[in-house]
Amino acid sequence: MQKENTNNETLWTKNFIIINIINLLIFFSFQMLLPTLPLYIKELGGSNSVIGLVTGIFVVSSVIIRPISGLLLDKLGRKKVFVIGLIIFILSVLSYSIFSVISVILFIRFIHGFGWGAVSTASSTIAADNIPKKRFGEGMGYFSLTSSLAMALAPVIGLSLIARYGSSMLFYVSTILATLGFIATFRLKYKETTTQSTNKTNGSLYEKSSLNPSFIVFFVSITYGALTSFLPLYAAEQGIANIGIFFTVYAIALFITRPLFGKIIDTLGFDFAIIPGLVLVVIAMGLLSIASSLPLFLVTAFIYGVGFGATQSSLQTMAMVGVPSNRLGAANATFLTAFDSGIGLGSIILGIVSASIGYSQMYLWAAASAVIAFTLYFIIGRKKIDPSSRLI
The predicted pLDDT at position 284 comes to 97
Please give the average per-residue pLDDT across 95-101, as a whole number: 92
Same domain, 168 and 243: no
More confidently predicted of 74 and 194: 74
**What amino acid occupies position 207?**
E
Point out the domain boundary residue: 192, 224, 248. Answer: 192
For residue 182, the model assigns a pLDDT of 97
Which residue segment(s) compose the domain that 257 sits in? 206-383
pLDDT one-digit tens code per residue, 243-253? 778 888 888 89
In a domain, 1, yes or no: no
Q: Enumerate helices (H) and strands (E) in the chain, giving the number of each.
A: 13, 0
pLDDT at 391 over 60: no
pLDDT tens digits along 123-174: 999 998 998 888 888 888 889 889 878 877 888 788 889 889 999 999 999 9
User: Is 227 in the same domain as 170?
Assistant: no
Output the pLDDT for position 107: 95
Q: Give per-residue pLDDT as tens, 352-387.
A: 888 888 889 999 999 999 999 999 999 987 765 444
Domain count, the chain: 2
Q: b/e string for 46-78 if b means 16 or more Cβ within 10 A?
A: beeebbbbbbebbbbbbbebbbbbbbbbbbebb
* 389 occurs within a structural domain: no
Contact 189, 15 (CB under 8 A): yes
In a domain, 105, yes or no: yes
Residues 55, 147: one domain? yes
More confident call, 21 vs 37: 21
Across 67-71, 260-264, 268-272, 285-289, the highest mean pLDDT is recorded for 285-289
What's the rounded Cα separation, in Å, for the pair 356 and 217? 26
What is the per-residue pLDDT for 371?
97
Q: What is the predicted pLDDT for the residue at 333?
A: 87
Please state, in angstroms and rounded to a whole number, the distance separating the CA atoms of residues 343 and 66.
15
Q: Which of 167, 192, 217 is the last residue of a domain?
A: 192
Q: Is 259 left (phi over 0), alpha (psi -120 to 50) or beta?
A: alpha
pLDDT at 8: 59
Residues 219 and 169 in one domain: no
Tell me, yes or no, whether 252 and 150 share the same domain: no
Task: Return the CATH number at 21.
Answer: 1.20.1250.20
**pLDDT at 93 exceeding the cut of 60:** yes
Asked whether residue 33 carries a pLDDT value surpassing 60, the answer given is: yes
pLDDT of the residue at 383: 60
Residue 202: predicted pLDDT = 59
Q: Identify whether residues 61 and 109 lie together within a single domain.
A: yes
Q: Answer yes or no: do 183 and 224 share one domain.
A: no
Write out 131-181 in H/E/C secondary structure: CCHHHHHHHHHHHHHHHHHHHHHHHHHHHHHHHHCCHHHHHHHHHHHHHHH
Last residue in a domain, options 192, 216, 250: 192
Query: Domain for residue 3, yes or no?
Result: no
Name the average pLDDT for the chain: 86
Looking at the structure, tell me whether residues 176 and 212 fall in a common domain.
no
pLDDT digits (tens, 9 = 90+) for 198-242: 444 456 778 888 899 999 999 999 998 888 777 877 888 888 877
Question: How would you write 209-271 as a 3-class SS string?
Answer: HHHHHHHHHHHHHHHHHHHHHHHHHHHHHCCCCCCHHHHHHHHHHHHHHHHHHHHHHHHCCCH
Flag whether pLDDT at 2 surpasses 50: no
In a domain, 4, yes or no: no
Residue 73 located in a structural domain: yes
Residues 35, 75, single domain; the answer is yes
Residue 225 lies in a domain: yes
Mean predicted confidence (pLDDT) in 93-121:
93
Whether 46 and 102 have beta carbons less than 8 Å apart is answered as yes
Q: What is the pLDDT of residue 209?
A: 85
The verdict on 173 and 291 lying in the same domain is no
Q: Is the pLDDT of residue 388 over 70?
A: no
Across 2-6, 47-51, 66-70, least confident range: 2-6
198 part of a folded domain = no
90 and 172 share one domain: yes
**Mean pLDDT lowest for which of 42-46, 116-120, 190-194?**
190-194
Overall pTM > 0.85: no
Residues 147, 29 within the same domain: yes
Sign for the pseudo-dihedral over CA of 3, 264, 224, 148: negative
What number is the average pLDDT over the span 82-108?
A: 94
| pLDDT confidence of residue 198 | 44
